[in-house]
């Protein structure tokens, strides 16, 4: 193992989570303890910051300011959805990144994101090989979608799941206020994987969860949906439904999809399926109904973090620093759930391309036979991830945040 | 003052707030201390419970269970939107209520609601006069809309305002994650009064609040809205807008109104204005945009209560019990803000009809000249109401609740 000396560059990419900045905190706090690392820089707007020489040195921030990262939503160092070209065809961006790395003597890169970010990291390393620039990179996972392969779960998922479970309980309780309630359809994020929508089941442990759960993993039939809702509504005079934004029919047509809107990676911009389904219920079944969308609240509610998720997110950042100093590179830090009655996590590294090209869906046997709910296996999987509470600091009644 | 002995009946009416059950707690806890009160009963579904002889005796619940009322959203004893007829024309409902009052020997009624509930209470008392049934009634205010007259503010508003301020801060932070952000239009409850929407201004104290605020008090012009948004977006490449569900044009036409849907009091069922305005921005200005609706979350998020509001809500319940035992009747308990540098509240009673027929809008000089923001006077008014945090108890990662 060669001993490198130089500076560390950290970047954030993809959709924010309520704890991605907690991972940034873990990185910065840990890196300060290691004299092999000179200064810590953060890319502004992820890889775009490296291309444009837009980075910020963290030396100027007090420990008190940095602590606030643990309760700041969004991406404190700004994110990006930017796809690097194939460097064999066009190395413009790569040459600019190289200049930035040289200018700040960057020898360690920690890149915090999902599978697109692992793809970016992998491409960059292949390019750096061709120019003999000595540098290590590790990927740090984050996504509320929980759809990264190899890792047991992803930082960000537990807190989003906790928001979903608590908010579903509150909506269910509100719904019970009147003798006749509405059919309430709640739309939850998740393009192809229904992890976060399925996590709404935890509300049932509080005695008032969703009656029906529809996930992208199971082909959605509008006819069956109406029959399911009618059965519940006729019995209870109210019905609470959780649907993933990405539910699709047997032909793969996504219900809420607007074909015109796609992001830089070609993902369709989704939304609006709850309102659509609520209208179907009103029109075809004649029941009062409403659609609710959790929107960005499900990834930004730092008032309601899972302590487990928060601590794991900080730890992922610390481990990234420790491993990269030990010589590990071109891996994403993954979590493994240890066997045994107590929930316990260990860490391992997985090659970047393995992560970049995979997508973890919910196993079929964790979804009920009828395709409108989850099984005990799913409950057992998700329950430990939302445990523990964190009480953030407030000023003027509003949660305090880190500001660049 | 005649000394009455008998039982106490408490009821909830209208839209839930996240602290209406805290007032129920105050009533029940205080009533238990007074031997003049035998048992405490709660109407199920407000006045409908009194009509249908559907009441629950609170003797069966432990102090531990009752404590959970302070963190339970919705209406723990179920609500109703039921309008009593004029008893001169049809006294059917009134005779049934009288039977219930006699059956349970009810001499004290505390009715927790908004102006419709004060109207119901007043009508009932006029009827009870005609049949010489000795009974006292007091109204206890609650509404997230904050639109009751005479009282400085309403229990339920502070917590809803705290949710709005914090969630706007989080949305604003999330919106800053990308180099180019969306025009984000957030729809907040409020039919005729914009108090809750205006409270989003508090997010600005955290450094990231709404750029524009539109209230029902100011006639809404779609042309001016587009010019306002364009000005902000061209400068900042993002724009955060707060709109009341009830914004209307100069002719009084409400933008999000569906004329078909009306509740029992003839109020139109609103919703959808954020999506509508986001579409206008996309279509007419070509900016990326999205609509977000806070929906029932703004009145049900007991994870994020204002301690000030919670304590005031409990106190209103206690004072109701104390006053009704002292002989006060046919009043609603109101709050007065004392003069002086420290925020301090005292209480007074106001006749039920005075409350029933009024509606408190935001004073014009608390809204800026341009009609798209608020002034310092509004800040000073709302700031103390959202102060203080409460950390509820959780089980399995989900907030614990009182269940009947």
Distance from CA of B75 to the nearest CA of A (A): 5
CB–CB contact A290 B293 (8 Å): no
- Cβ contacts (< 8 Å) between B388 and chain A: which residues? 397
Residues B277, B340, single domain; the answer is no
Is B84 within a domain? yes
Is A396 within a domain? no
Other C-beta atoms within 10 Å of B196: how many? 29
In the numeric block, which tokens belong to residue A344?
A: 């316990």
Residue A266's pLDDT is 54
SS3 string, chain B, reads CCCCCEEEEEEECCCCCCCHHHHHHHHHHHHCCCCCEEEEEEECCCHHHHHCCCEEEHHHCCHHHHHHHHHCCCCCCCCCCCCCCCCCCCCHHHHHHHHHHHHCCEEEEEEEECHHHHHHHHHHHHHHHHCCCCCEEEEEECCCCCCCCCCCCCCCHHHHHHHHHHHHHHHHHHHCCCCCCCEEEEEECCCCCCHHHHHHHHHHHHCCCCCEEECCCCCCCHHHHHHHHHHHHHHHCCEEEEEECCCECCCCCECCCCCCCECCCCCECCCCHHHHHHHHHHHHHCCCEEEEECCCHHHHCHHHCCHHHHHHHHHHHHHHHHHHHHCCCCEEEEEEECCCCCCCEEEEEEEHHHHHCCCCCCCHHHECCCCCCECHHHHHHHHHHHCCCCCCCEECCEECCCCC
Helix runs in A263-374, H state only: 273-280, 297-300, 307-326, 352-356
Residues A242, A322, single domain; the answer is no
Residue from the list A166, A292, A293 with its beta carbon closest to the beta carbon of B399: A166
Residue A148's pLDDT is 98
Residue A318's pLDDT is 98
In degrees and rounded to multiples of 5, residue A150 shows phi and psi of 75, -50
A to B CB pairs, distance under 8 Å: 182
Is B294 within a domain? yes
Residue from the list A175, A301, A397 with its beta carbon closest to the beta carbon of B170: A301
Residues A272, A330, single domain; the answer is no
In the numeric block, which tokens belong to residue B107?
A: 């001499």
Residue from the list A169, A301, A398 with its beta carbon closest to the beta carbon of B205: A398
Residues B287, B164, single domain; the answer is yes
- Which of B170, B256, B274 has the most A C-beta neighbours within 10 Å, making it the best mutation to test the interface with A? B170
Residues A68, A123, single domain; the answer is yes
Residue B276's pLDDT is 87
Instruction: Please say if the pLDDT value at position B219 is more than 90.
Output: yes
Question: What's the whole-number mean pLDDT along residues B117-140?
Answer: 97
Residue from the list B170, B271, B394 with its beta carbon closest to the beta carbon of A389: B394
- Cβ contacts (< 8 Å) between B167 and chain A: which residues? 297, 301
Sequence-ordered list of residues with C-beta below 8 angstroms from that of B295, at least 6 positions apart, any chain: A290, A292, B271
Q: Give the residue from B151, B87, B115 showing the smallest Cα distance to B353.
A: B115
Distance from CA of B86 to the nearest CA of A (A): 23
Residues A291, A318, single domain; the answer is no
What ipTM is given for this predicted complex? Answer: 0.94
Q: Give the residue from B111, B88, B6, B101 showing the smallest Cα distance to B50.
A: B101
CA A198 to chain centre: 15
The residue whose two tokens read 């955290």 is B206
CA A76, A81, A84: angle at the middle one, nearest 5?
Answer: 120
Distance from CA of B73 to the nearest CA of A (A): 6
CATH number of the domain bearing residue B291: 3.40.50.460
Rounded CA-CA distance B80/A178 in Å is 6
Q: Is residue A6 within 8 Å of residue A106, measured between CB atoms?
A: yes
Mean pLDDT of chain B: 94
Q: What is the CA radius of gyration of chain A?
A: 22
- Which of B177, B207, B260 has the most A C-beta neighbours within 10 Å, making it the best mutation to test the interface with A? B177
**Among residues B93, B122, B145, B309, which one is catalytic?**
B145
Q: Residue B75's closest chain A neighbor by CA?
A: A177
Q: Is residue A231 within 8 Å of residue A285, measured between CB atoms?
A: no
Residue B3's pLDDT is 66
Rounded CA-CA distance B203/B295 in Å is 19
Q: From B300, B322, B357, give the residue that closes a domain.
A: B300
**Strand, coil or helix: B396:** coil
The residue whose two tokens read 């199971």 is A218
- In DSSP notation, B111-141 reads EEESHHHHHHHHHHHHHHHHTT---EEEEEE
Residues A41, A128, single domain; the answer is yes
Q: What is the CA radius of gyration of chain B?
A: 22
- Cβ contacts (< 8 Å) between B81 and chain A: which residues? 178
Give B83-90's long-range contacts (Cβ < 8 A, gap of 24+): B83/B116, B83/B120, B83/B264, B83/B265, B84/B47, B84/B120, B84/B123, B84/B124, B86/B123, B87/B123, B87/B126, B87/B127, B87/B130
Residue B263's pLDDT is 46
Is B398 within a domain? no
Q: Residue A387's closest chain B neighbor by CA?
A: B397
- Which of A170, A184, A202, A389 has the most B C-beta neighbours within 10 Å, making it the best mutation to test the interface with B? A170
What is the Cβ-side half-sphere exposure of residue A281, based on CA atoms within 13 angstroms?
Answer: 28
Residue from the list B174, B202, B389 with its beta carbon closest to the beta carbon of A296: B174
In degrees and rounded to multiples of 5, residue B6 shows phi and psi of 170, -165
CB–CB contact A179 B45 (8 Å): yes
Q: Residue A307's closest chain B neighbor by CA?
A: B397
- In DSSP notation, B324-339 reads HHHT--SEEEEEEEPS
- Which of B50, B397, B400 has the most A C-beta neighbours within 10 Å, making it the best mutation to test the interface with A? B397
Distance from CA of A72 to the nearest CA of B (A): 8
Q: What is the DSSP-derived secondary structure letter of residue B16?
A: -
pLDDT in tens, A289-305: 999 999 999 999 999 99
CB–CB contact B399 A177 (8 Å): no
- Cβ contacts (< 8 Å) between A200 and chain B: which residues? none
Instruction: Please say if the pLDDT value at position B262 is more than 60.
Output: no
Residue from the list A45, A175, A396 with its beta carbon closest to the beta carbon of B179: A45
Q: From A233, A266, A300, give the residue that closes a domain.
A: A300
- Cβ contacts (< 8 Å) between B403 and chain A: which residues? 207
CATH number of the domain bearing residue B343: 3.40.50.450
Instruction: Please say if the pLDDT value at position B108 is more than 50.
Output: yes
Distance from CA of A207 to the nearest CA of B (A): 9
Q: pLDDT band at B264, cuts 50/70/90? A: low
Q: pLDDT band at B260, cuts 50/70/90? A: very low
Other C-beta atoms within 10 Å of B365: how many? 10
- Cβ contacts (< 8 Å) between A311 and chain B: which residues? none
Rounded CA-CA distance A33/A1 in Å is 20
Is A112 within a domain? yes
Residues B246, B120, single domain; the answer is no
**Spans in chain A with pLDDT lower than 70:** 1-3, 257-271
Q: Give the residue from A363, A310, A334 showing the smallest Cα distance to A163.
A: A310
The residue whose two tokens read 């039939």 is A221
Annotated catalytic residue B145: yes
| Residues of A marked as catalytic | 145
- Cβ contacts (< 8 Å) between A174 and chain B: which residues? 16, 73-74, 296, 299-300
* Domain extent at residue A206: 157-300
| C-alpha pair distances (Å), B366 with each of B116, B194, B198 | 27, 11, 10
Rounded CA-CA distance A358/A381 in Å is 20
Distance from CA of B270 to the nearest CA of A (A): 11
Q: From B251, B266, B300, give the residue that closes a domain.
A: B300
- Cβ contacts (< 8 Å) between B301 and chain A: which residues? 167, 170
Q: Give the residue from A104, A103, A121 showing the smallest Cα distance to A112.
A: A121
Rounded CA-CA distance A269/A263 in Å is 7
Q: Give the residue from A171, A87, A259, A279 showing the smallest Cα distance to B301.
A: A171
Residue from the list B72, B304, B391 with its beta carbon closest to the beta carbon of A173: B72
Is A217 within a domain? yes
Is A364 within a domain? no
CB–CB contact B397 A387 (8 Å): yes
Q: Give the residue from A112, A153, A143, A152 showing the smallest Cα distance to A26.
A: A112
CB–CB contact B302 A207 (8 Å): no
Residues A294, A192, single domain; the answer is yes
Residue from the list A295, A395, A399 with its beta carbon closest to the beta carbon of B292: A295
**Better-scored residue on pLDDT, B165 or B1:** B165
Beta strands in B114-238, from DSSP E residues, in sequence order: 136-141, 183-188, 212-214
CB–CB contact A297 B169 (8 Å): no
Q: Is residue A126 within 8 Å of residue A114, measured between CB atoms?
A: no
Distance from CA of A394 to the nearest CA of B (A): 8
Rounded CA-CA distance A78/A74 in Å is 8
- Which of A174, A207, A395 has the most B C-beta neighbours within 10 Å, making it the best mutation to test the interface with B? A174
pLDDT in tens, B168-196: 999 999 999 988 889 999 999 999 999 99
Rounded CA-CA distance B368/A60 in Å is 38
Residues B171, B195, single domain; the answer is yes
Residues A128, A248, single domain; the answer is no
Is A387 within a domain? no
Rounded CA-CA distance B145/B195 in Å is 6
Residues B138, B257, single domain; the answer is no
Q: Is residue B210 within 8 Å of residue B200, measured between CB atoms?
A: yes
CB–CB contact A207 B175 (8 Å): no
Total structural domains within chain B: 2
- Cβ contacts (< 8 Å) between A394 and chain B: which residues? 389
């Amino acid at each position: 193992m060669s001993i490198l000396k130089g500076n560390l560059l950290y970047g954030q990419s993809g959709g924010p989570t309520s704890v991605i900045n907690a991972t940034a905190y873990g990185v910065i706090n840990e890196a300060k303890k290691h004299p092999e690392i000179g200064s810590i820089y953060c890319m502004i707007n992820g890889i775009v910051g490296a291309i444009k020489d837009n980075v910020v040195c963290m030396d100027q921030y007090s420990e008190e300011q940095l602590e606030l990262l643990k309760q700041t939503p969004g991406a404190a160092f700004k994110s990006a959805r930017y796809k690097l070209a194939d460097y064999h065809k066009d190395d413009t961006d790569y040459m600019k990144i190289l200049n930035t790395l040289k200018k700040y003597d960057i020898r360690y890169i920690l890149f915090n994101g999902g599978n697109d970010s692992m793809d970016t990291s992998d491409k960059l390393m292949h390019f750096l090989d061709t120019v003999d620039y000595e540098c290590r990179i590790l990927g740090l996972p984050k996504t509320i979608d929980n759809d990264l392969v190899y890792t047991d779960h992803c930082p960000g998922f537990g807190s989003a799941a906790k928001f979903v479970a608590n908010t579903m309980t509150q909506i269910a309780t509100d719904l019970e206020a009147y003798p006749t309630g509405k059919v309430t359809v709640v739309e939850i994020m998740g393009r192809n994987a229904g992890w976060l929508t399925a996590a709404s089941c935890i509300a049932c442990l509080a005695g008032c969860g969703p009656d029906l759960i529809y996930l992208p993993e199971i082909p959605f039939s509008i006819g069956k949906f109406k029959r399911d809702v009618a059965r519940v509504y006729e019995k209870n005079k109210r019905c609470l439904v959780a649907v993933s934004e990405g539910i699709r029919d047997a032909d793969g047509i996504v219900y809420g999809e607007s074909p015109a809107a796609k992001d830089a990676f070609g993902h369709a911009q989704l939304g609006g399926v709850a309102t659509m389904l609520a209208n179907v219920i009103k029109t075809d079944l004649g029941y009062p109904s409403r659609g609710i969308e959790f929107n960005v609240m499900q990834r930004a509610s730092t008032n309601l973090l899972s302590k487990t998720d928060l601590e794991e997110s900080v730890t992922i950042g610390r481990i990234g620093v420790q491993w990269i100093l030990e010589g590990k590179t071109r891996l994403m830090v993954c979590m493994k759930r240890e066997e045994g009655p107590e929930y316990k996590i260990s860490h391992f590294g997985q090659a970047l391309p393995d992560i970049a090209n995979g997508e973890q869906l919910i196993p079929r046997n964790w979804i009920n036979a009828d395709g409108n709910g989850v099984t005990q296996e799913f409950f057992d999987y998700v329950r430990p991830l939302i445990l523990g509470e964190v009480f953030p600091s407030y000023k003027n009644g509003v949660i305090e945040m880190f500001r660049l």
